[in-house]
Structure 1
Amino acid sequence: MAVLDAIRSRPGTTHPRLVQQLGLGRTVVSQRVARLEAAGLVAQDGLAPSSGGRSPRRLRLRRNAGLVAGVDIGATGMTVGLADLSGSVLAASREAVDVADGPDVVLGRVERLVEDLLARLPAPPPLWGIGVGVPGPVEFATSRPVAPPIMPGWDGYPVRERLAGRFAAPVWVDNDVNVLALGEVRANPAAAEAGDLLYVKIGTGIGAGLVSGGRVHRGVNGCAGDIGHVAVAEAGAVSCRCGNVGCLEAVAGGAALAREARRLAERGGSPALAEALAARGGLTAADVTAAAERGDPAARALLARAGRLVGGTLATLVSFYNPGLVVLGGGVVHAGDQVLAAVRESVYRRSLPLATRMLRIELSALGEAAGLTGAVHLVLDSVFEAERLARWLPWGSPAGHPDVACGPAPGPA
């Protein structure tokens, strides 16, 4: 409903502003506002300054009418949080987790964390929905992971059905990079202004989220943007966890950095990495970035190579898609400047001049918070979508109605 969307996006708006913004008649706006007030979704918020005559009433979403849960599951950790209907996070917990332990273990922890967070809030309102991001391909219509390379035991797992059964609320599940992209565009003003952007995560894996006109583009089945498994010439015959060879992720992702770091350490090519290997018996991408920050030339070269490889693939996407903004996130990127600089150099050198004329390439403004933010807005965008809103509005809220999440996806977002 356009009136509700306008009130959500501009808290404190008034009847006259709604009429002007939406091009609707005063009577239509008044009727729709009255319906939203009767449903408990909109409330008055004082008076706005008068421009002549009676001062108009300010309107706002009743953000405390319900809660939404956001779940950001990564390869080695997860964040679970509760937010109000404006998207403001009220409480959150983060803990280490191994996604390879399987859905029963990981989702069991998710369920307990959601329950713990609910118990912390005095008289919590109903849970309106749950949004989940996972580090693998997801068929968005069914919310089921499909052959995720780093998620053994998750293929086809009914994540929606399990959580909906536990909490009696609608559930949406998406690939983690789509969730990150959504978080960025909903909470980063620069991303919202750009409208057309690419969010690229370089961490344990590599992926991209495509945003067009402010809405996430998922493709027919939900796997748009899976650039980590694009073949790159530099990868040669290096095996990837997806079962193929020559994938970008196999030579530029976090696991590839850890593999190359160990080789350097064992061959005496990096004293800093050799020291870390001796101390812990293994190396991770975080060790590479830590060594690079200490000035280790070999570690810096590893990160720069990864950035060049990712940048080469991105250059093709930039020429093809012509975004106004590329946002880089993930642990590998945020640990130092080498990757960002190398990505920028490759993209600007190899993309079409017209495609880069207005292009900005920046680090994520939200950092690690993007995943939880995106998971929360995955729910809010879905429950307030016009078709779904019309379905649950007669009940007063989507709480207790898990089927609100089922059915055809409401367009590209």
Structure 2
Amino acid sequence: MRTLYASADILKLIRDGQAVTRSELMDQTGLSRTTIGTRLAELSKRGLISESGSAASTGGRPSGLLAFNAGAGVILTIDGGATRSSLAVSDLAGESLSERSALRAIETGPEATLAWATSELDAMLDALGRTREDVWAVGVGLPGSVDAAGRPVSPQLMPGWDGYPVGDRLRDHFGVDVLVDNDVNVMALGEARQHDPKEQIVVVKAGTGVGLAYVAEGVVLRGAQHAAGEIGHTQVPGHEHIECSCGKRGCLQAVAGGQRMADRLTAAGIPCANTAEVATLARGGVPEAIAMVREAGHAIGFVLATVVNILNPSRLVVGGDLTDARDFLLSALRETVYREANTLATSELEIARARAGARAGIIGTTTMALEHALDA
């Protein structure tokens, strides 16, 4: 465990309620009263803490009670999906103050999408009596690969976004740091906050596309090029008849991606516009939709079996619109993972729906930006 010297570490102790007086901070950290005083002065100057009243005295000078000021600023969140985008304004405790969601195709391009997002966020701030001066950081989740600089890289579901400086565009508008990551990574971060922080969790998103993220002890492992978890173009045996947009055949995304499934249902004479409608049709008992969702579950499970063998997670969490198709997806996925993966690796593996549900992206993106802002 690293020594708690930084102001951010002191703030975390106060936020979590582990230490609410100077004496308790000294006991927890081993720092001197003078050093504690310096750290608290830094936090107070930023408006992050207040000190009032007094704790029960055990002798000597009464110690003031320290409190985290969640209203010192706000965090803005853009959770962009292939067909739907959500926006949020949250306080510094991560509590949502305002949220909006709209059906918007990400393929309209970065300029139109970000112009809409900034306009809506400005309006949300105004409705809350806040301004851009109150914004501490912006978090963005996007449905595609994102490099370390926050630029989309060859995103299959985001034509026109390749290399676009998303962070720079938003930084110019709001004047604060902007954190950009792919939607599955931020969803995983949001989901991880619902579980024991020591767990190792694989989070899968089954929506318009298919992707995964790996969280170990609360940290998303993104890989050397931030490309970890890009499983969409892994080939699944027995599906060579399905051509993928990348030019290969049998890719997981072509087999189990919600939009491709919707297209195949429509071609079969069953009108279906998107992933959510695939799930609705399956819930409604349409045999073709049920069969297709189960086929997707088996395909995803086949790829995940290898992931489980390599990473040996304690929990496998599945989210995304396809999980709304009753238990058709999850039952097929579980069956295949337990059949194909190493017996020891699955002996205590729990496979379940995402606890955070549809808000996992908002929660994770907010968390990403919030942790950056408070650690600054």
TM-score over 0.5 (shorter chain) = yes
Give the Cα separation in 1 of the matches to 2:37 and 2:146.
Answer: 41
User: Where does residue 234 of structure 2 map in the other structure?
Assistant: 230
Give the Cα separation in 1 of the matches to 2:112 and 2:130.
Answer: 29
Shift of 1:301: 1.9
1:139 is aligned, of 119, 135, 147, to: 147
User: Where does residue 360 of structure 2 map in the other structure?
Assistant: 370
Tell me the SS of whatever aligns to 2:140.
strand
User: Where does residue 250 of structure 2 map in the other structure?
Assistant: 246
Give the Cα separation in 1 of the matches to 2:143 and 2:107.
Answer: 11
Shift of 1:166: 1.1
Give the Cα separation in 2 of the matches to 1:357 and 1:25.
Answer: 48
Shift of 1:244: 3.2
Q: Is contact 2:197-2:217 (8 Å) kept?
A: no
Distance 1:57 1:308, change over 3 A: farther
Q: Is contact 1:79-1:94 (8 Å) kept?
A: yes
| Farther-moved stretch of structure 1 (304-313 vs 25-34) | 25-34
User: Where does residue 296 of structure 1 map in the other structure?
Assistant: 286
Give the Cα separation in 2 of the matches to 1:380 and 1:34.
Answer: 21
Give the Cα separation in 2 of the matches to 1:105 and 1:219.
Answer: 30
Give the Cα separation in 1 of the matches to 2:59 and 2:301.
Answer: 56
User: Where does residue 3 of structure 2 map in the other structure?
Assistant: none
Give the Cα separation in 2 of the matches to 1:354 and 1:53.
Answer: 58
Tell me the SS of whatever aligns to 1:171.
strand
Letter in 2 for 1:6: L
Give the Cα separation in 2 of the matches to 1:193 and 1:73.
Answer: 26
Give the Cα separation in 2 of the matches to 1:106 and 1:244.
Answer: 30
The aligned length equals 368
User: Where does residue 68 of structure 2 map in the other structure?
Assistant: 61
**How far does the alpha carbon of each residue in 1:312-338 deviate from its partner, in whole angstroms, 9 at most, with x for none?**
111111111111111111001133211
Give the Cα separation in 2 of the matches to 1:382 and 1:175.
Answer: 17
Tell me the SS of whatever aligns to 2:76.
strand
TM (norm. structure 1) is: 0.83
Q: Is contact 1:78-1:97 (8 Å) kept?
A: yes
Aligned alpha-carbon RMSD (Å): 2.2
Give the Cα separation in 2 of the matches to 1:53 and 1:304.
Answer: 69
Give the Cα separation in 2 of the matches to 1:360 and 1:291.
Answer: 28
User: Where does residue 384 of structure 1 map in the other structure?
Assistant: 374
Whether 1:336 and 2:326 are equivalent positions in the alignment is yes
Letter in 2 for 1:374: G
Q: Is contact 2:13-2:19 (8 Å) kept?
A: no
2:299 is aligned, of 304, 309, 314, to: 309
User: Where does residue 205 of structure 1 map in the other structure?
Assistant: 209
Shift of 1:23: 4.6
* Percent identity over paired residues: 38
Shift of 1:41: 1.8
Give the Cα separation in 1 of the matches to 2:230 and 2:126.
Answer: 38
Report matched runs for 1:3-402 at 5 Å: 3-10=10-17, 13-44=20-51, 46-48=53-55, 56-124=63-131, 126-140=134-148, 142-186=149-193, 188=194, 190=195, 192-263=196-267, 265-266=268-269, 274=270, 277=271, 282-385=272-375, 389=376
Q: Indicate the structure whose relative CO is greater, using CA pairs within 8 Å and at least 6 residues apart.
A: 1
Shift of 1:46: 4.7
Give the Cα separation in 2 of the matches to 1:165 and 1:88.
Answer: 26
Give the Cα separation in 1 of the matches to 2:97 and 2:20.
Answer: 24
Give the Cα separation in 1 of the matches to 2:361 and 2:18.
Answer: 24
Q: Is contact 1:328-1:363 (8 Å) kept?
A: yes
Tell me the SS of whatever aligns to 2:357.
coil
**How far does the alpha carbon of each residue in 1:341-360 deviate from its partner, in whole angstroms, 9 at most, with x for none?**
11122222222222223321
Distance 1:193 1:171, change over 3 A: closer
Letter in 1 for 2:327: D
Tell me the SS of whatever aligns to 2:212.
strand
**How far does the alpha carbon of each residue in 1:65-86 deviate from its partner, in whole angstroms, 9 at most, with x for none?**
1111000011111111111111
Q: Is contact 1:42-1:59 (8 Å) kept?
A: yes
Give the Cα separation in 2 of the matches to 1:50 and 1:343.
Answer: 58
| Farther-moved stretch of structure 1 (293-302 vs 374-383) | 293-302
Give the Cα separation in 2 of the matches to 1:340 and 1:242.
Answer: 27
Which of the two has greater helix per residue? 1
Distance 1:353 1:13, change over 3 A: farther
Tell me the SS of whatever aligns to 2:87.
strand
Give the Cα separation in 2 of the matches to 1:293 and 1:67.
Answer: 39
Shift of 1:210: 1.2
Q: Is contact 1:255-1:284 (8 Å) kept?
A: yes
Shift of 1:50: 5.8
Q: Is contact 1:46-1:58 (8 Å) kept?
A: yes
Shift of 1:123: 4.3
| Farther-moved stretch of structure 1 (235-244 vs 11-20) | 11-20
Q: Is contact 2:84-2:105 (8 Å) kept?
A: yes
Residue ranges of structure 2 left out of the alignment (5+ in a row): 1-5
Distance 1:250 1:324, change over 3 A: same
Shift of 1:148: 0.5
**How far does the alpha carbon of each residue in 1:47-71 deviate from its partner, in whole angstroms, 9 at most, with x for none?**
4556677765432322111111000
